[in-house]
Structure 1
């Protein structure tokens, strides 16, 4: 039995949430069960109560606002605990067309993808301003290069994730999960697909960021952290080599004047060049150490994925035990122990 859970991270979405929920599909081809999950990220307007009134199956509540990335992580953890085979993430402001969730899930249902990104057609989307379209295109191009993927709308929050992919992805950023997830998925050789999706005009200004410069800064930091974590050797050795090369220039300058018999007046070039050369070497060595740490992190992530699979098996046994009754449940447990 295939279960789809549609999760909606929310911050003060009591007004727009009913419209979003009404547009979500109740049935999807290839899926046996469709359930809804709302993550109330410290709302003060009764978002969780509205979700209950609309019959949302699962609700996760944060006592205070922890940010979109934390809300996304909480939703994925709860969806996995509830036995989701496919997790779809959408926004609570009604930006995305709920009917497109069916198309979003199909590549996963057919076994063609681990993660599916809803492509909003940024280049000609009438709901985006010209600066936003340009920013999205540039950001997506950078993510494509860092992740080694071909995703034209890297920051789209409308995406579907298979259970296996959700268990292997570990979001580390505190700002937005979108680029972090793609860089991780690309480096872990997951199959990533895109499908065109429809969007609606924004019902309110974004609560994720207060200004474009702030968004660019935080997204840049997120991408740099993710790339450094998964490609430390390239990041640090490349930077160290550049610093060392720059340090060679003043040293060569000193040697030139020294060969001309005028080295005494250019000692400062030798000092500066030597300092840069040492700094570049130290940065390169840091890259080697970071590469060893990255290799250890891969082992830890693999162990974490295995632990999650074991938890899935135990949860499945407990669910079967509850459904089958006390006597049959005990027999199931004995059989599994054997």
Structure 2
């Protein structure tokens, strides 16, 4: 029995959620059971009540708003606990076409991909303005470089992933999971695919960020943080070498003037160059230490994955035993 759980992170989506739920598929080829999961991320409206009245199978509620990344992670944990074999994440604003979920899950079911990202065709999407198109293409190009993947729409929230991929991923950012997930998955050598999808216009502004500059800054910080976490040696040593090379410029300048017999008036070049050189060496040392920490993190992640899988086996055995006991109740002994 293959179970698909479609999760929808929500923040004050009582108005748009019914239409989104109505557009979701009830049956998907290759899937035996389709269930819905709504994560109410501290909404002040009746989002959770709407979800319950529409028959959503699972509802997770945050007492206060924690952000999209935390809502996504809560949804994944609940989906895994409910036995999902495939998880699909979509938005509540109706941007994505529910019928295209079948396209997303197909590569996962066929074993060709661990994660599938819906490609909105940013370059030609009529629902995006010119500036947004250029911004999305630039951001996706940066994520492709950092993650060593070939994903053309890095910030698309319409994506599917296998149970194994969900167990191995841990979102660390508080802003958005999209770029963090791709960089993490790419560096963990997961198979990532992209499929074209349809989109709809969303007249209301995004609730994820208040302004474009803020979005750019937060996304940039997320990308830098994720890349440094999974490539600390390259990040720190590369930065250290750049700083050291910059420090060599004033030192060479001093040597030049010293050989000309004019070294007395250029002591500041030694001070500046020496300081930059020391900083560069320290950054390289930090890179080595960070790489050792990263190696330890990999061991911890492997142990965490084994613990999760072992817990699932124990829970499954306990459930099977409970079901068996219900079907064949023990009779009390009589004297």
User: Any conservation in 2 of the 1:94–1:203 contact (CA below 8 Å)?
Assistant: no
Q: In the comparison of the two structures, how many residue pairs are matched?
A: 330
Structure 2 SS opposite 1:234: helix
Cα separation, partners in 2 of 1:97 and 1:329, compared to 1, 3 Å: farther
Deviations along 1:59-109, one digit per CA (max 9) or x if unpaired, are 000000100000000000000000000000000111100000011000000
Query: Could you give the per-residue CA deviations for residues 265-306 of structure 1, whole angstroms, max 9, x where no partner exists?
Result: 111111111111111101111111111011111111111111
Q: Distance in 1 between matches of 2:58 and 2:286?
A: 45
Closer, same or farther: CA 309–281 of 1 in aligned 2, 3 Å: same
Helix, strand or coil at the partner of 1:127: coil
After TM superposition, the structure 1 = structure 2 runs for residues 281-296 of structure 1, keeping only pairs within 5 Å, are 281-296=281-296
Contact 1:38 1:56 in 2 (8 A): yes
3-state SS in 2 of match to 1:315: helix
TM-score by length of structure 1 reads 0.96
Q: Does 1:3 align with 2:17?
A: no
Q: Where in structure 2 are the equivalents of 1:154-169 lying within 5 Å?
A: 154-169=154-169
SS of 2:319's equivalent in the other structure is helix
Structure 1: stretches of 5+ with no match in the other structure: 331-338
> Partners of 1:132 and 1:294 in 2: how far apart?
35
Larger CA deviation: 33-42 vs 263-272:
263-272
**Bigger CA drift: 186-195 or 264-273?**
264-273
Indicate yes or no: 2:144 matched with 1:137. Answer: no
Bigger shift: 254-263 or 216-225?
254-263
Match of 1:118 in 2: 118
Cα distance in 1 for partners of 2:12, 2:250 equals 58
The reply to whether residue 59 of structure 1 matches residue 63 of structure 2 is no
Describe the superposition over 1:19-77 as per-residue Cα deviations: whole angstroms up to 9, x where unpaired: 00000001111111000000000111110000000000000000001000000000000
SS in 2 for 1:325: helix
**Deviation at residue 310 of structure 1 after TM alignment:** 0.8
1:246-265 matches, cutoff 5 A: 246-265=246-265
Cα distance in 1 between the residues matched to 2:253 and 2:308: 59
TM-score by length of 2: 0.97
Q: Deviations over 1:220-269 (max 9, x none)?
A: 00000000000011110011001111111111111111111111111111
Deviation at 1:114, TM superposition (A): 0.1
Matches within 5 A, 1:167-316: 167-316=167-316
Aligned to 1:86: 86
In 2, are the aligned partners of 1:10 and 1:39 still within 8 Å (CA)? Answer: yes
Q: Distance in 2 between matches of 1:324 and 1:89?
A: 34
55-64 vs 318-327, which moves further: 318-327
The corresponding residue for 2:107 is 107
1:214, CA displacement in angstroms? 0.4
The DSSP-based 3-state class of the residue aligned with 1:183 is helix
SS at match of 1:5: strand
CA distance in 2, matches of 1:133, 1:324: 57
Q: State the shift of 1:164 in Å.
A: 0.2
Greater mean alpha carbon deviation, residues 312-321 or residues 204-213: 312-321
Q: Give, in whole Å, the separation in 2 of the partners of 1:47 and 1:11.
A: 8
What is the aligned partner in structure 2 of residue 26 from structure 1? Answer: 26
| 1:105-155 deviations in Å (ceiling 9; x for gaps) | 000000110000000000000111111111110000000000000000000
Partner Cα distance (1:44, 1:251) in 2: 61
SS in 1 for 2:5: strand
Q: Secondary structure at the match of 1:118?
A: strand
